[in-house]
Homo-oligomer: A and B are copies of this chain.
Amino acid sequence: MAIAPWSRLSADEMQLLRTTFWSAGGSRHGMAEQLGFSRSKANALIAGLVEQGMLAEAGLQPSSGGRRPERLQLNDGLGVLVGVDVGATSLDVAVLGLGLQVLAHVSEPAEVRDGPGVVLARVRVLIRQLLVQCGLDARKVLGIGVGVPGPVNFERGQLVNPPLMPAWDSFSIRDYLREDYAAPIFVDNDVNLMALGELWRLKRSLSNFLVIKVGTGIGCGIVCHGEVYRGAAGSAGDVGHICVDQDGPRCHCGNLGCVEVMAAGPAITRMAMEAAEGGESQAMADTLKAQGRIHAEDVGQASRAGDAAANAIVQRAGSLIGQMLASIVNFFNPSHVFIGGGITRIGPLFLAAVRQSVYQRSLALSTRHLEIQYTPLGAQAGLIGAGVLAMQESLRVRGVAP
């Protein structure tokens, strides 16, 4: 493993680096306060880290009276992060600055079922291309974060019994990518990374919230006590197989009426095909004729145009997901639920149906201050989260001074 630029820093200096990363653009006074350092101690540490090229002072913050405090950030000259977001049917790779700004990004369709050999070979090519595009070589990469759509053993960086991608079971993504990069590589579940991304965006200002991803499957990222929570075996947040109808259709997991089989992307497509073929919607019948199939986005488009059958489908999916969420909200009492994934392109009616279902079924005390909205980081939540993971863990594993 390569030597990190911060491998020789003291424990206090490392703490300051971590705090700077998490408070991105915070003032030096704010930082000193957070760390419980005196101003003079903080100033001395900061001066040293600026001199060593670790930190950079970045312009001035709006004054709150008196001398204007300088904003601090990690020095972008140190290197870059790589974020990889492997979806069930898509692949996103990005090169990110240390403030999580996207320097280069590519998104393309991919079939996770093709197995790790095919998908990761493509990941390798894309990372190389993006680095070239940025004029950087592999040695500039400080950390790599990879999100995958299945349960992960976080310590080992391996998938464990992933239902959507059986060929990946126990495959070491870390070992595979290690051939090209000296930087440390970290793997986590895609929704956990979305939660981590939002936690970073929020500068940890919320301690207890959920991120629900609705796409091919349904998963949930959990932030508890200000940290991403992965569960006893790494499978926390596996909410797609919560039962919402005991007489519902059979799911690939073997049970009946799982919310995933009734309300995720494929279920929406299936309901739309039925509506088109049953003559319930001219708009969707036209789409089916033109494209040979109907995507969830098409249902959203028809719904926005006022198609009654499309509206009913969007509402049914939202209501079922809200029903599942109601149970979770009663149990976990989060302050916020952020919904992300492909479903966000289906339009506002979906969110309204989710909210109605949760507010109706959850207890008043649990929902009094609850906010349900789409993920503020949008489609990039997973990529940003992968970058945050790469940086956070790199600062952790290589953070011990010799």
Contacts and interface: CB of A to CB of B under 8 A. Distances in A.
Interface of A: 151, 160-161, 207-209, 220, 222, 224-225, 227, 229-239, 241-243, 245-246, 253, 255, 323-324, 326-328, 330-335, 360-366, 368-370
Given A231-B332, A233-B333, A331-B332, A238 B326 contact: no
B369 A331 contact: no
A160 B361 CA distance: 19
Contacts of A220: 331
B333 A235 contact: yes
Name, among A255, A333, A335, the residue most crowded by chain B CB atoms within 10 Å (CB to CB): A333
A238 B330 contact: yes
A209 B236 CA distance: 12
Given A242-B331, A331-B331, A208 B225 contact: no
A360 B246 CA distance: 13
Contacts of A369: 232-233
Nearest to A161: B365
A225 to B, nearest CB: 5
A227 to B, nearest CB: 6
A239 B328 CA distance: 9
Contact of A366 (B235, B330, B370): B235
Contacts of A234: 333, 365
B361 A238 contact: no
Contacts of A332: 222, 231, 236, 331-332
B238 A331 contact: yes
A263 to B, nearest CB: 15
Contacts of A232: 207-209, 333-335, 369-370
12 contacts: A160-B365, A161-B365, A233-B365, A233-B369, A236-B332, A236-B333, A241-B330, A242-B326, A242-B331, A245-B246, A327-B327, A331-B332
Contacts of A366: 231, 233, 235, 238
B161 A364 contact: yes
Contact of A224 (B225, B328, B334, B364): B225
A373 B324 CA distance: 26
A237 B331 contact: yes
Contact of A239 (B208, B225, B330): B330
A244 to B, nearest CB: 9
A327 B329 CA distance: 12
- Closest 6 pairs (CB-CB, A-B): A231-B333, A232-B335, A236-B333, A235-B365, A242-B327, A235-B333
Nearest to A208: B232
A370 B326 CA distance: 24
A362 B333 CA distance: 21
Contacts of A231: 208, 332-334, 366
A215 B74 CA distance: 54
